[in-house]
Structure 1
């Protein structure tokens, strides 16, 4: 029997829709999932269940968080209208205060979720309100990076309180306006030819703010920046004889790339643009890239899959050396500055616990850093992500 054309068209559209439904999205979803900045409700509920059972490593991680100054109910924020941060936070006019207050706001938001004690939610709100009442700008040379550090934590705290706490937050609109008008413009367009950790940290903040504000355009912009930066930050042999340039940085000759990669002229899978600078900044870049991928994952965009082996190779390369592997003579002149930091929980959780991939060097390093604490723009990731299959 011959099918009529409208019926054929309907069947074709149905098949296409079914196919697309099974494919990961590459752009912002029609509606954002909340909470969905770095952590989602299923992950948080899993942690809460683990804590009720006294399971490890979550219980030790929770105890460390609760004992920290960031979780003190007596915590007092120190907001200011202009945060001035030069290179290496010198001058430091509000830089440490802002970062610490943003981490404290996030810490109290987590404490609220796990304890259901309203005092923690109110303290998180107090900290966020204190800053939204006065902050006008970030200035001096480190302004974009400072905005990224603090914006990443503030977006997470705002997201949790907005979508899990039923109590009053009278000044929520003012906090949203601060993120929209003070933070997002500073971080949304990337960092050009600065070292890659800048742009990845800024993008971490940008995607978190985008989800919190339900800003689809800002979300898609963050995806674009990440997609252009990661291949310019972690090398894979499929890139060719030397690394790619980031999409925001117009370097296109081998010598320009070598200079940008701290003088390193031989390349191997997992090497990062800042490896020969030091592992501390490299750890920031790698974990910020992972934060972006984790937030996107909760929103239905699988940047982890798009990354191919870059994230697993990047972390494995550096954790092997942190674990004591010999430094090759052709790497950074035979000497590296270790200190990657407690930045591996989320990447290990995704690739191992969700996907079943083996990352032995990263596991050894991760376990040696548990429970992970809080610093600059990452906090309590053993608690939120260790062995968390959600």
Structure 2
């Protein structure tokens, strides 16, 4: 049945959206059936019958669709049985079974092959949180009164959405229609749980929990949109049944599911609590207890600060943050705000100036997972009056633009970057990723946050929004206006550094001999450190250490210029330690004499993943024994970083100091010859430390490593990677690649600038230089952009029709939602729109449907008319091919004129013998800005 297509008029459209994901994404699939009375139930797979994934990766199952001639849609009654364990290689089966009211059952099965991969998930244990964990005080509470509903939607959001749906405003109405068609949004949905225990990795009762959490979200929304109490009653029943039954959510990856589904189960609970009169204070107390006792502990199962890298930790934070809001837990919420703003391996600081997040060079699916989690949390915080969107020069805007740009296949500079999972030297990812609706949830939220609220431009997100489908979830986060306000958080306690030329003390640790020393050479601006010892790796602690004792938060930065070859593993780098006793808890970041690799080591610190994460060697972007290293202490957390340039810092090691946590620790430079009895002489430049003297030689900064230009409307937004030691930047522009350039801005203090002195339609080429009192750098790499005037899609408020005289079908091409489509029986025919008034259409755009590419239009005439009878051909196209589903092709009208009616007269499709399909037909005209 999955390949049968009888047509829209006499068919029954069935859709099942499971919205299942470990690190982001959902999968919707639609099949069309023609059903006659009294036939047995039919069931078919959504998606492929055989799937292959790697060990440890997430699997988003598209599910199945079912129907019966007597009972109608049975998709919500499908029972799912799965043996899948994505953490173990093997062949697994997912079986979908449906039974009709007469007792007849049918099943289909999907095979999932889990194949071995070099990366395996950590098996982590934690002896428990430190006694009286020391986390730097985030200051006065950022939240004093929590708004309900507000995680992640407010009452104002819901009121606007309902008004748009009631008015039939697109694409909100088509998004709602997709929600209403989901089996888990219906009163006939059969609860899959509850279970006392749920586990992920290993999986146990995971699918019943997932399905019911989606149902809570869907049914609560259906209550609000329809005001039918039955939906709220069913959502309440499912939520409270789980809340009073489940006592455990375990497994190595519990936080991943909780983070993925938090906006659903918390969002549904918030809607019920904040809008349904039948909800009681006792219900609220029951759900709070469920969150507090079961789900919040499972969101951070390894203890204080023990978060997995990048997307994993971000998912922990969004889960904790949304549940803290529901639970009115101001202490937990302030802690989440503090951590998302300070933890450099999972939060907003897991990024660089051009917008790369920690997982961006891993693969685009995990990149989306990290972005979605951070943005969903930022949105929920905004609703509580906290603006983290503005942090780090609008970093989430940069992250969204970088993600959209890469996946729109625009050539984009990638810098070495990474996480505590891995350090990546280049981009070998699956650019052009279109799963999860193209990233429609986070990108729509970013657009609302920055374009609508803050008046900034997001050109690549806007470009992607032209085709991104609107589904039964994403329409909830679509906005066309937003005047809400929030305030930035308090100043962050990130320790600063200044250069140091004197004041280091020295000690030979672990029997290192002969005695070492550290000498500053003012003329060269370098430290030369000599040390012996047997090594600093693992439990070894034998080296020379040049240090300062620093109380409170602190950091040290250094570039290792060279390491003398006294042994192939001789080491030089930076170290922090809790005492000067041999074997004390400590953190080190070093490079070795053979070059090309860095080492990190955190003996006796509590590290997520244990020694496999805390102590490892990895490749860096240097063939010599030279790289930038950094250590940072904030509270009881020490973070180790590497960088190719001194500004693009990737947090690759994070450890927690267990109690008792000293106020004062020892911070400095370390050298070990690994040939005790022989001194190793290593050279460090650009050494900076908290509380330094600032007397070092100032040198001209290096050129910014990357520059990205974006094609705005009457503007070109620019972002670049900072240069170490720079105090200002100059933006240079040319209309020819390679110059000559003229200066358009100087003395820029930030790492971004928007050039508004441009003309739409002209291509501009940019470079940036960095400067300080010593001089000006060479130019950054060049990037270009062509600003364009934004035209408005005027195909709204009118009437659609087609050559089969099916206006409802035709209207799906004009609902601003590529997820729905005009599905036409025939290989040629016309599709038209009556605006109800005249417009001068300058461009038109066609978006391919989700159907087979053979159904795409291939040849057509674009026509205009003022009476609907006499047509003027404005454009003719032939041999058109859409390479992607939901691909947008835009065509310029050579001689635009004023018409009321516009028509696409299709004369051939791309080979299907029966049908033609089109996702969207846009008519674009110039309107006042």
TM range (shorter): 0.7 to 0.9
Matching residue within 449, 465, 487 for 1:350:
449
Mapped contact 1:58–1:386 kept (Cα < 8 A): no
Report whether the alignment pairs 1:207 with 2:313.
no
Which residue number corresponds to residue 221 of structure 1?
Answer: 335
- Once the two structures are TM-superposed, the CA of residue 388 in structure 1 deviates from its matched residue by 4.3
What is the alpha-carbon distance in structure 2 between the residues aligned to residue 26 and residue 356 of structure 1? 29
Q: Normalising to structure 2: TM-score of the pair? A: 0.33
- Once the two structures are TM-superposed, the CA of residue 79 in structure 1 deviates from its matched residue by 2.1
C-alpha deviations, 1:338-364, integer Å up to 9, x for none?
346333111111111112211111122
Cα gap change, 1:289 to 1:52, in 2 (>3 Å): same
Matching residue within 269, 273, 285 for 1:173:
285
SS of 1:357's equivalent? coil
SS of 2:198's equivalent? strand
Which residue number corresponds to residue 38 of structure 1?
Answer: 152
What is the alpha-carbon distance in structure 2 between the residues aligned to residue 66 and residue 36 of structure 1? 23
Which residue number corresponds to residue 185 of structure 1?
Answer: 297
Report whether the alignment pairs 1:389 with 2:482.
yes
Which residue number corresponds to residue 80 of structure 1?
Answer: 195
Mapped contact 2:243–2:286 kept (Cα < 8 A): yes
Matches within 5 A, 1:1-390: 27-77=141-191, 78-86=193-201, 91-169=202-280, 171-187=283-299, 192=306, 194-229=308-343, 230-236=347-353, 269-326=354-411, 328=413, 333-337=426-430, 338=433, 339=435, 341-343=439-441, 344-373=443-472, 380-389=473-482
SS of 2:386's equivalent? coil
What is the alpha-carbon distance in structure 1 between the residues aligned to residue 397 and residue 250 of structure 2? 36
What is the alpha-carbon distance in structure 1 between the residues aligned to residue 427 and residue 325 of structure 2? 43
- Once the two structures are TM-superposed, the CA of residue 308 in structure 1 deviates from its matched residue by 2.5
SS of 1:37's equivalent? coil
Cα gap change, 1:190 to 1:103, in 2 (>3 Å): farther
Cα gap change, 1:182 to 1:151, in 2 (>3 Å): farther
What is the alpha-carbon distance in structure 2 between the residues aligned to residue 168 and residue 143 of structure 1? 29
Mapped contact 1:27–1:301 kept (Cα < 8 A): no
Cα gap change, 1:388 to 1:73, in 2 (>3 Å): farther
C-alpha deviations, 1:5-32, integer Å up to 9, x for none?
xxxxxxxxxxxxxxxxxxxx97343221
C-alpha deviations, 1:287-313, integer Å up to 9, x for none?
111111111111111111224321111
What is the alpha-carbon distance in structure 2 between the residues aligned to residue 329 and residue 175 of structure 1? 44
What is the alpha-carbon distance in structure 2 between the residues aligned to residue 153 and residue 210 of structure 1? 15
Unpaired segments of 5 or more residues in structure 1? 1-24, 237-268, 374-379
SS of 1:92's equivalent? coil
Cα gap change, 1:384 to 1:321, in 2 (>3 Å): closer
Mapped contact 2:199–2:206 kept (Cα < 8 A): yes
Deviates more, 1:158-167 or 1:189-198: 189-198
Q: Normalising to structure 1: TM-score of the pair? A: 0.77
Higher strand share: 2
C-alpha deviations, 1:237-289, integer Å up to 9, x for none?
xxxxxxxxxxxxxxxxxxxxxxxxxxxxxxxx111111121111111111111
SS of 2:356's equivalent? coil
Structure having the higher Rg: 2
Mapped contact 2:363–2:429 kept (Cα < 8 A): yes
Number of aligned residue pairs: give it.
Answer: 324
C-alpha deviations, 1:58-79, integer Å up to 9, x for none?
1111111111123121222222
SS of 1:232's equivalent? coil
- Once the two structures are TM-superposed, the CA of residue 193 in structure 1 deviates from its matched residue by 5.3
What is the alpha-carbon distance in structure 1 between the residues aligned to residue 294 and residue 395 of structure 2? 32
Cα gap change, 1:372 to 1:329, in 2 (>3 Å): same
Mapped contact 1:28–1:220 kept (Cα < 8 A): yes
Mapped contact 2:307–2:316 kept (Cα < 8 A): no
SS of 1:93's equivalent? coil
SS of 2:249's equivalent? strand
